[in-house]
Structure 1
Amino acid sequence: MAKCRTCSIIVSYNPEIENLVALTKTLALQDDFVVIVDNNSHNKESILSITKSLDRCHSILLDKNTGIAHAQNIGIEFALAENYTHIVFFDQDSSIDEYYIRDQLQVFAKLKSQHPKLAALGPAFVDKKHGFHYKIVNIDRYGRRTKIDTQHMQKPFAASLIISSGSLVSADALRDIGPMDERFFIDYVDTEWCLRAHAKGYVIFVNPQIQMLHAIGDNSLKLLKWRVPVHSAFRRYYRIRNAFFLLKMPHVPTLLALREIAFNLVHQLVLILFGQNKMGYVRSLWRGLKDGLNGKY
């Protein structure tokens, strides 16, 4: 059996350097290689200094913000060219322990012996600010959703969708399934890739024994018993536009795409009514609808 060689890909954009240093150092101690792909951050010289100071680290500094999907693909291209067997994706604010890669590789290998077409293994997520466990969403062939609570689960389980951050992906699966769809820029990139993987007969698992802290949105609004994530108007444009793109893809269940469209429109209305920068959200709603319906990338 060939030795596992992992390459971690961190995508950064104006990161907090302290967080990025901590993540990179932790990975450098347990990983074969670490690549930071930076989307033209204002502090990219500091990012360059991180990788220069550590062994088995490399940075790729892009001259403009090309989106998370393109940045991930730059890292994927590097890892595949160097014949790494597994790729692990991270956000710039991810936080892991010193055994993360080892533990995930062990579980991946065990699952792979039972499921030859295993594409990816993700962690469970805990909200960074409020401490609750994010539920994993499974969907059937018609797009009907089932939520899985990972809080008290012990064994890995199959999942329809996982977040790219923290996910361990087989390089062979990536070669077959294909890279991230750069047309999405940022939102639904991992959703589309997971659904494409399933359409090709692959399976995806979650390991609830491995947990990562995660935060959705820059902030949140508390409305009655609901907590509504708040993203920038810039980000909300892609969220709305890309939901319409999902509707046109044969490997995406229609019901799922329609739900995302409806949910995003309601979410946008809440932000317009109760959030800051109301006109910014109105403009991003208009642009998202116009470009989504016209299929403009």
Structure 2
Amino acid sequence: MTRAWPRPAAGEPVAAGVGAAGQGEEWAGLAADRMEPVAYGLILVLYRPQHEHLKHLLTLSAQCPCLVVVDNTEAPDPGVAVRLEQARIPLLRNFNQGGLAGAYNRGADWLQARSCELMFLLDQDSVLREGFFEAMLGACAALHGTPFIVGPKIYETQLDRYMPALDPAAAWPRPVALTESQSGLVPSLCVISSGSAISMAAWQRMGRFREDYFIEYIDVEYALRGWHLGVPAYVNTAAVLEQKAGAIVRHGRHYSTHHPAWRRYYMARNAVHALRCYPRRHSLLPAGLLLLCYQALGVACFETGRCQKLLALLIGLSDGLRGRLGRLEDRHPVLAARWRRV
């Protein structure tokens, strides 16, 4: 039997509570004497938000009344808190502790305290197409009562195409092409975090995002962990999220993303570490290493600052193989300072 996920009454405020001591977080927003249970909620992560991000946020609050914002900026702008308080939107300050993973974890704690059954994740740069929540809630209703992760179909605007799913049953990671007219759920080895819906049953079985990854591959590791623990991941082809990955430049059939060196470090390190964590899928690590070689070739052929970026890939690969995780600034402070300037 399927069920509909009821919406909280439009305009009904959802108030912030008091943060857990010792977790390095500051909670702002509305004070409340009680916590109202909610059927589903949205965690929106901000990082150095601009005016257009706050405008987008206010639009989202009308689409998903149970919205909690996590400001992940190291030195938050007090004006953001003022605007959200005026709009009666709860705000959590995370100060980039644990990176994007930490921000999602803080928001999940807030929703879990309110007995939320389904939580959506979103970053500030993602754009949801019309009917997104209706399509996602409809798909999740069909899975109600089971642990699951459902991600949207991703449209990469710079490539003008939908990104493929990955067949979880294939011996070697096999892309599954997604089209405009497709509908239904497609099992996928992984889904991106932004736009995804995670059932609370899945969250309770799988646990939190890895904060020692900080950023990059936190969603890949989480989905692989889910398959390992019996929690499937799907792409909902009826819901579309538009994204821009880096600053993509086409070169014939190929393209380069022009990510900075510090992002390249996290990509290489976390990719290798995540794929090694689940040895039952023997083909993942060789496939991941081939992908890294392809990315390194793209950097060497097409990108500026290639020496620093290739160095970042090599050090990230070494750290990932040895399990040396955490923030780049803590692991390699001199290189971090140099790469942040590039």
TM superposition score category, shorter chain reference: 0.7 to 0.9
Q: Which runs of 4+ in 1 moved over 4 A?
A: 1-4
Equivalent residue of 1:254, what SS? Answer: coil
Equivalent residue of 1:36, what SS? Answer: strand
Residue of 30, 47, 50 corresponding to 2:83: 50
Cα pair 1:8 1:34 within 8 Å, conserved: yes
Label 1:256 to 1:44 Cα distance change in 2 as closer, same or farther (>3 A): farther
Q: Identify the residue that residue 261 of structure 2 maps to in structure 1.
A: 233
Structure 1 residue 128: deviation in Å?
2.2
Identity %: 24
Q: Which moves more between the two structures, 80-89 or 100-109? A: 100-109
Note the residue ranges of structure 1 that are not aligned, 5 or more in a row. Answer: none
Q: Deviations over 1:248-293 (max 9, x none)?
A: 3136623112211221133123213321122321331232133123
Residue of 139, 142, 146 corresponding to 1:110: 142
Q: Deviations over 1:178-199 (max 9, x none)?
A: 1111222111111111111112
Residue 91 (structure 2) pairs with residue 62 (structure 1)? no
Aligned length: 291
Q: Identify the residue that residue 80 of structure 1 maps to in structure 2.
A: 112
Structure 2: distance between partners of 1:64 and 1:144: 33
Which is helix-richer, 1 or 2?
1
Relative to the length of structure 1, the TM-score reads: 0.88
Q: Which moves more between the two structures, 68-77 or 103-112? A: 103-112
Structure 1 residue 46: deviation in Å?
3.8
Based on CA coordinates, which of the two structures has the bigger radius of gyration?
2
Matches within 5 A, 1:1-297: 5-22=39-56, 24-41=57-74, 44-55=77-88, 57-64=89-96, 66-97=98-129, 99-112=131-144, 116-140=145-169, 142-217=171-246, 219-250=247-278, 253-297=281-325
User: Amino acid of the residue matched to residue 117 of structure 2?
Assistant: T
Structure 1 residue 227: deviation in Å?
1.8
Q: Which moves more between the two structures, 92-101 or 207-216? A: 92-101
Label 1:76 to 1:248 Cα distance change in 2 as closer, same or farther (>3 A): same
Cα-Cα RMSD: 2.3
Cα pair 1:27 1:98 within 8 Å, conserved: no
Equivalent residue of 1:140, what SS? Answer: coil
Equivalent residue of 2:101, what SS? Answer: helix
Which is strand-richer, 1 or 2?
1
Label 1:16 to 1:285 Cα distance change in 2 as closer, same or farther (>3 A): same
User: Amino acid of the residue matched to residue 294 of structure 1?
Assistant: R
Structure 2: distance between partners of 1:228 and 1:197: 30
Relative to the length of structure 2, the TM-score reads: 0.77
Label 1:42 to 1:209 Cα distance change in 2 as closer, same or farther (>3 A): same
Cα pair 1:11 1:90 within 8 Å, conserved: yes
Structure 1: distance between partners of 2:282 and 2:55: 42
Structure 2: distance between partners of 1:289 and 1:103: 39
Cα pair 2:76 2:95 within 8 Å, conserved: no
Cα pair 2:43 2:107 within 8 Å, conserved: yes
Structure 1: distance between partners of 2:193 and 2:211: 14
User: Amino acid of the residue matched to residue 72 of structure 1?
Assistant: Y
Q: Deviations over 1:65-106 (max 9, x none)?
A: 531111111111111112111110001112225643233212
Cα pair 2:173 2:287 within 8 Å, conserved: no
